[in-house]
Amino acid sequence: MNARLLPYVLILPVTVFLCVFFLYPFALVAQQAFAGDGGFGLENFRHVVSDWKFPISLKNTLLLAALVVPVQLALSLLMATMVTRMEKGRDLVLYIWTIPLGISDLAAGLIWLAIFDQSGFLNSMMAGLGVIDRPVSLLNYQHPGIVLAAIALAEIWRATAIMLVILVAGIGLIPKEYYEAAEVFGASPWQRFYKITLPLLRPSLQTALVLRIILAFEVFAVVAALGGTVFPVLMGQTYELQFALNNSAGAAAMALIILGISIGFTLLVLRVLRVPKGARI
């Protein structure tokens, strides 16, 4: 076979697969979102945005992302640094820390529901310790703060490991000599982290943050399990439009709005953490 053609032939199956099962449905969704009574327009967008629940779900989604992502970033950096320094048992610790990754997000939501529920562990523990007289309902509209905290906690527990894995791999790529040079030239352990690890980890931080932020805007099952209607989020609204209100054009518009937000934040992360040409390892 012609050697110049071979690469294209080899990527053909994947390309066809992506076109049929990704690009085509995506085009359909987009078409649906922009379709209206009088041909193409922004009617569907106007409709979903003017819903009274839209601002609150947008606010909730952004709030949750703003709360969860920085905590996860800090935690995963700390954990990655610890794992990297370990000489023994490194793999075991890494496996244990990544267990939550293997659990579906709905199951994760249910696990935390079992803790925060009126008949859950937290209530029975507090009752047992005599902090409260009888079980109280924590996850309702009277305690929005607790609902938010429970969702954030569940999200942090569930999805920190995805960042951890990327950062551990990234730290492993930084040559040891840079740390030794920094040490000889006077950098304290904290300065070595701040002046060597962080800047050299930028490519991995980009990947981890982009992935995590996209996931944060797609948050759904954990919120559904713990917050229900008390804590509406964008993806929950999309689900409701599609399945409760049978408004698939509206759902398509919502999906595109979420996509737009994700792309916006992705570009922001790529811009902020860009590595100048010639400054790569």
Residue with the two structure tokens 């193409």: 40
Site for other proteins in 108-167 (CB under 8 A): none
CA distance 230 to 228: 5
Decide: is 271 part of the binding site for other proteins (CB under 8 A): no
Cα–Cα–Cα angle for 23, 28, 30, nearest 5°? Answer: 90
Site stretch for other proteins (CB under 8 A), options 52-60, 90-98, 197-205, 229-237: 197-205
> Which residue in 62, 146, 187, 214 binds other proteins (CB under 8 A)?
187
Looking at 180, 260, 267, 272, which residue binds other proteins (CB under 8 A)?
Answer: 180
Q: Does 102 bind other proteins (CB under 8 A)?
A: no
* Region from 69-77, 85-93, 155-163, 198-206 binding other proteins, contact rule CB under 8 A: 198-206
Residues 203-242: x where in contact with other proteins by CB under 8 A, - otherwise, as a string: ----------------------------------------
> For residues 117 and 183, which CB has a smaller minimum distance to other proteins in the complex?
183
Nearer to other proteins, 37 or 87 (CB): 87
Torsion sign across C-alpha atoms 110, 114, 116, 118? positive
Stretch that binds other proteins, among 103-111, 182-190, 244-252, 260-268 (CB under 8 A): 182-190
Per-residue burial over 98-118, b if 16 or more Cβ lie within 10 Å, else e, is: eebeeeebeebbbbbbebbbe
Helix, strand, coil in percent for the chain, rounding step 5: 75, 0, 20
Concatenate the DSSP letters of all residues of 77-145 into one string: HHHHHHHHH-SSSHHHHHHHHHGGGGS-HHHHHHHHHHHHSTTSHHHHHHHHTTS-SS----SSTT-HH
Closest approach of other proteins to the CB of residue 205, in Å: 12
278 binds other proteins (CB under 8 A): yes
Q: Which of 41, 175, 260, 264 binds other proteins (CB under 8 A)?
A: 175
Q: CB atoms < 10 A from the CB of 172, how many?
A: 11
The yes or no reply on residue 181 touching other proteins (CB under 8 A) is yes
Question: How far, in Å, CA of 112 to CA of 120, rounded?
Answer: 9
Provide the minimum distance between the beta carbon of 189 and other proteins in the complex, in angstroms, as a whole number.
10
Residues lying near other proteins in the complex (CB under 8 A):
175, 177-178, 180-187, 191, 196, 199-200, 202, 275-281
